[in-house]
């Protein structure tokens, strides 16, 4: 996603990302900044919190541009999904529950960051949390984001597909229509 966002940001600035930037594999993180391999990087909230914690400055908040994001979805082969729809439905349901828990119980979110990522610094946790609570409560696939990504990474193979070939919204739709997702937020301060 950071490569994609960098391309969109460069276009917004009127830059030619092919000529004006060098987009590198494994080019994000404070280690490559510290050793002079790169001058700047585009990152997720975890790498950003780490960089700011080490004294680096956030140069641009690309979220203000509201680029259509395809998201960091759950991926499965079509053949696996056909054979395992129940397992996929349970996984999506647990993901929706995890998002609700994150948004409604900050203590749990911070404990999870500490347990799974080793992030215990309260300032870093707060920085990550501020971004994470922006996750949609109803995580439908972003069709606009998929379309835009297909334009950015235009090639012959990509042109063989339609956006609908890359997502299945039925799992979230079922949870939404049943009222299950809304029920997770009843009585909670929705963020």
Mean pLDDT of each 10-residue bin along the chain, 191 residues long: 92 94 84 88 84 90 89 85 96 96 95 94 91 90 93 94 92 97 82 46
DSSP annotation of 189 reads -
Within 54-142, residue ranges assigned H as helices are 78-83, 85-104, 106-117, 122-132
Buried b (16+ CB within 10 A) or exposed e, 58-92: eeeeeeeeebebbbeeeeeeeeeeeeeeeebeeeb
């Amino acid at each position: 996603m950071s490569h994609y966002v960098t391309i969109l940001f460069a276009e917004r600035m009127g830059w030619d990302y092919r000529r004006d930037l060098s987009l590198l594999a494994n080019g994000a993180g404070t280690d490559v900044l510290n050793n002079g391999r790169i001058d700047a990087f585009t990152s997720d909230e975890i790498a950003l919190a780490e960089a700011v914690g080490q004294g680096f400055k956030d140069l641009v908040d690309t979220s203000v541009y509201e680029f259509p994001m395809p998201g960091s979805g759950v991926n499965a082969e079509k053949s696996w999904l056909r054979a395992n729809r129940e397992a996929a439905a349970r996984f999506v349901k647990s993901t929706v529950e995890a998002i609700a828990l994150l948004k409604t119980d900050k203590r749990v979110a911070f404990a999870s960051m500490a347990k799974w990522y080793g992030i215990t610094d309260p300032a870093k946790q707060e920085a990550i949390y501020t971004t994470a609570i922006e996750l949609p409560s109803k995580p439908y696939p972003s069709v606009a984001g998929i379309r835009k990504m297909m334009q950015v990474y235009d090639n012959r193979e990509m042109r063989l597909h339609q956006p609908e070939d890359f997502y299945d919204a039925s799992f979230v739709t079922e949870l939404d229509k049943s009222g299950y997702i809304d029920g997770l937020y009843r009585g909670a301060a929705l963020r």
